[in-house]
Structure 1
């Protein structure tokens, strides 16, 4: 029976090993993406706290428009931390970066509807494939800002209104790593190849555990410890077998959650199993005053961004951050996402829609009020990236991804050694 499982393990690995190695390597790079971005470009994200009050958002908006005259501001994110810059999201299009490809955009739009909704700034880029549309993942009214793909993010010092940096995600190293990780730079076809390889990887892990299982209790110790002082063949064997056992559970979880970005049927299955609706309701609309009903966008009398932020702070005074997505037109509402200090993960936000004229709450929903499907789907990203428990789980994720990169290599070496051994045996038989 083990010969049967060994053959399955071998041939599936030969088919998908290279893809798995690349996915694991790029996954290792992406684990600390946010931390590395902030370490490499601290001026974008951090400023010296000032004893004076922060400037009004209107003043910061003027600085953004002076820096980028043709920009259309679609959202703003303000942190409670006085050392953080204010992040302004700009609309996509010619001035805001390249639009996502059709296949890419489809996956991005559905991401938010499942409960992992980006909030702007760095978290937005990490939240759903970098290029998503508005918070509802639809082309309708409400909190969505701007047309086209996600544009750049401009960072502004809240005390001096100085622009401290701009991030165009598609021009970064991490975007390339993400494109490799999700689809081998091959668009929808590459995404399918990665998805199929991930499915095969689940079977590879399962058959690997069957092959690892020792025949006797005495052999258990041998399968749990690497003999570092042995010959290179034995060391290669132990690196594959022993470390493979320790990494198997984590790799299985990472691969299983990764299917959510490859297959729509997998996401539909999550909502079917949890008996939850997949589509989110349309965002509510604002009540347009009669005098401004003919206006198309940002009519006179609309709530200022400062007023909207003040209202958001009244509703959630203890929040870590406030992400406002501005209305697209005169009937749209202002979507505010707030993150509580004890949030399960960084996208486990509470949500409220405000009338853009009166500031009245049109609809609100805490994280706990999301349906079960949204909450389960929302957990996939922090589990997949290892960020669910902060630095400890990130370090585990990094180590496991590096090991995942090595297993196809050590496995091929084991296979070649076995072939060489079998050829020698056949030659001896032929000579005899």
Structure 2
């Protein structure tokens, strides 16, 4: 029976080994994406808190319009931390950088961002809700969102209204790593190849555990310890077998959650198993104003109302409406939230400021909460630095297993050929 499992393990590894190595390597690079981005460009994200009051959002948005006159502002993200800059999201030009491209920034890509709950903080508009369905950005709904797709983020000093930097995620090193990680460099075919390789990887891990399982109690210690004093063949064997066992559970979880970005049927299965609707309801609309040509709320007024609703939030992400019937969407993150996109959301009437609807993270459907957990589990950010370090180590080990496994296979072939030559000579 072990020969059967060994053959499955071997041939699946030979077919998908290179893809798995690339996915593990790029995944390891992306584990500390936010921390590295902030360390490389601290001026974008941090300022020295001043004793003077913060500038109103109207002045900050005016500074962005002066910086990029043709830009369309789609969202504003304000942190409670006085040392953080204000992030202002812009719409991308259709078909251009940050615009809509099939499989990356187009319909499919925007739907993925919606399910994930928005992109990482480094390049975030931070306005898409976590969980299933399409966000306002994806639908171009009445509540707001950019018409031109995913555009750059401009960072502004909240005390001086000075623009401190700009980030176009598609032009960054991490976007290249993300494209390699998900197979988007090859379009739909590349994404399918990564998805199929990930499925194979799950079988490789399962058969690997079967092959690892010791036949006797005396062999348990050998399977749990690397013999560093052995020859290079024995060391290579132990690095593959022993470290493979310790990392198998983590790799299985990472691979399983990674299927959500490769196959739509997998996402549909999450909502089917949890008996949850996949589509989110349409954003509510604002009531017609009592006075004709009534002025809509300013971003500052909306932020004031948002702070009244969630006075202890870590950040406030505002999406202003793009038409006279739209509503103002505000996403807030509570202290101690389970993950970065576990946000509460409130919709405000753009004329009266009345709360039209609100939903806490706990009120989301089970399917939305389960799907929303996939990204922090997949990236290892679910428990902060400790889980990220584990994720990084496991990803780096995942790069080595196709190499050590191939060496074991070649050694076995040489051994079989040598044995055959001896038999012929005899």
Q: TM-score if structure 2 supplies the norm length?
A: 0.95
Q: CA deviation at 1:136?
A: 3.4
How big is the shift at 1:199? 0.3
Farther-moved stretch of structure 1 (163-172 vs 280-289) = 280-289
Structure 1 residue 148, shift from structure 2 partner: 2.2
CA contact (8 A) 1:334 1:355 kept: yes
Equivalent positions of 1:135-214 (< 5 A) are: 135-136=135-136, 138-183=138-183, 185-214=185-214
Query: What is the correspondence of 1:307-386 to structure 2 with a 5 Å cutoff?
Result: 307-386=301-380
CA pair 127-364 structure 1, distance change in 2 beyond 3 A:
closer
Q: Is the 8 A contact 1:77 1:121 kept in 2?
A: no
Q: What is the aligned counterpart of 1:398 among 392, 397, 400?
A: 392
Distance 1:316 1:241, change over 3 A: same
Identify the residue that residue 387 of structure 1 maps to in structure 2. 381
Q: Which residue of 1 aligns with 2:300?
A: 306
* 1:232 alignment partner in structure 2: 232
Residues 185-221 of structure 1 show CA distances to partners (whole Å, capped at 9, x for unaligned) of 1011100000000000000000000000000011000
Residue 380 of structure 1: how far off its partner (Å): 0.1
Give the Å deviation of 1:149.
1.7
Per the alignment, do residues 214 and 137 of structure 1 end up closer, same or farther by CA in structure 2, a change over 3 Å counting? Answer: farther
- Residue 101 of structure 1 aligns to a residue whose secondary structure is coil
- Cα offset for 1:117? 2.0
Q: Does 1:110 align with 2:111?
A: yes
Query: Residue 8 of structure 1: CA displacement?
Result: 0.2
For structure 1, the residue ranges without an aligned partner over 5 or more in a row are 294-299
| CA deviation map 1:245-304 (0-9, x unaligned) | 0000000000000000000000000000000000000000112326557xxxxxx60100
- Distance (whole Å) between structure 1 residues aligned to residue 159 and residue 122 of structure 2: 21
* Alignment partners' CA distance in 1, 2:203 and 2:88: 44
Q: 1:309 and 1:355 mapped to 2: Cα distance?
A: 13
- Distance (Å, rounded) in 1 between the aligned partners of 2:61 and 2:137: 25
- Counterpart-to-counterpart distance in 2, 1:143 and 1:8: 51
Matched residue, 1:280:
280
CA distance change for structure 1 residues 31 and 120 in 2, over 3 Å: closer, same or farther?
closer
Q: What is the total number of aligned residue pairs between the two structures?
A: 421
Give the deviation of 1:142 after TM superposition. 2.8
Contact 1:91 1:150 in 2 (8 A): yes
Once the two structures are superposed, residues 300-343 of structure 1 have per-residue CA deviations (whole angstroms, 9 ceiling, x without a partner) of: 60100000000000000000000001112111111100000021
Aligned residue in 2 for 1:411: 405
- Kindly indicate whether residue 259 of structure 2 is the aligned counterpart of residue 259 of structure 1: yes
Residue 44 (structure 2) pairs with residue 50 (structure 1): no
Residue 226 (structure 1) shift: 0.5
Please state whether the residue corresponding to 2:124 is helix, strand or coil: helix
Q: Could you tell me how far 1:53 is from its partner in structure 2?
A: 1.1
The 1:107/1:220 distance shift into structure 2, 3 A limit, reads farther
Report the 3-state secondary structure (helix = DSSP H, G, I; strand = E; otherwise coil) of the residue aligned with 2:402.
Answer: helix
> Structure 2 vs 1, CA of residues 147 and 292 (structure 1 numbering), >3 Å: closer, same or farther?
farther
TM superposition shift of 1:161 = 0.6
Indicate if the aligned counterparts of 2:21 and 2:402 stay in contact, CA closer than 8 A: yes
CA displacement at 1:138 relative to structure 2? 3.8
Q: Is the 8 A contact 1:142 1:334 kept in 2?
A: no
Q: Which residue of 1 aligns with 2:35?
A: 35
Deviation at 1:107, TM superposition (A): 3.7
Q: Is the 8 A contact 2:347 2:357 kept in 1?
A: yes
Q: Secondary structure in 1 aligned to 2:207? A: helix
- Relative to structure 1, the CA distance from residue 292 to residue 186 in structure 2 (aligned partners, 3 Å threshold; closer, same or farther) is farther
Query: How has the CA–CA distance of structure 1 residues 232 and 31 changed in structure 2, closer, same or farther, with 3 Å as cutoff?
Result: same
Query: Normalising by structure 1, what TM-score?
Result: 0.94
- Residue in 2 that maps onto 1:297: none
